[in-house]
Structures are given as structure tokens and as C-alpha cells.
Amino acid sequence: MAGLLEDYTKLSEEELDSKIEDVMKKLDIAYSMGQGPVVDQLIFHLDNLKLELGDRLEKQRFDIVTHKTPEQYNVTDDELQSGEESKDEK
């Protein structure tokens, strides 16, 4: 069963979009034919494709925000720890 699962991380965004479109077409056909088990499998693959695409988009948004944040507002772990230590001293 594990051999049937694809590694969607290796696909480009265009390939992911194309696969999502293809699975949705197949889902419509399977649903109209009353093929419940096939519909379930296609929904599983569609969900995995959408999760991969969502993860990529979230990473892109994070990267955009990170690059737009001025350096003075970036807080490192060391700064957080030193801030906690100074609170403990008071």
C-alpha cells in the first residue's frame, strides 16, 4: 500500500495544480458512477495534494514576511533568554 502513495514534495506547483485538477475530474466521474470506494481513495489523494500545496504556500508567505521584517524587529533565541534572565534578576 505504501508504494501507491506518491511523494508530492518532488512535484512543481504547476504539476501539483495539474494533478489536483485531474483528481477532481476523476472524482466527479467516480461520484456520478456511484463508486464509493473509488471516491474515498480519490478524496484521500486530493487531500494530500492540497495539504502539500498549502504547506508550500504557507512557507512562501512566511518567507515573504520574514524578508519584509526590518532586522531590528528580529528577535533571536539568545535575546529571548537574556530578557528572561533580566526579569529573574529584578
Single-letter code of the amino acid located at 33 = M
pLDDT at 79: 64
Task: Compute the distance between CA of residue 79 and CA of residue 75 in angstroms, rounded to an integer.
Answer: 6
pLDDT at 66: 77
State if pTM tops 0.75: no
Stretches where the chain sits below pLDDT 50 are 1-3
Task: Compute the distance between CA of residue 48 and CA of residue 2 in angstroms, rounded to an integer.
Answer: 14
Element (H, E) at 31: helix 13-32
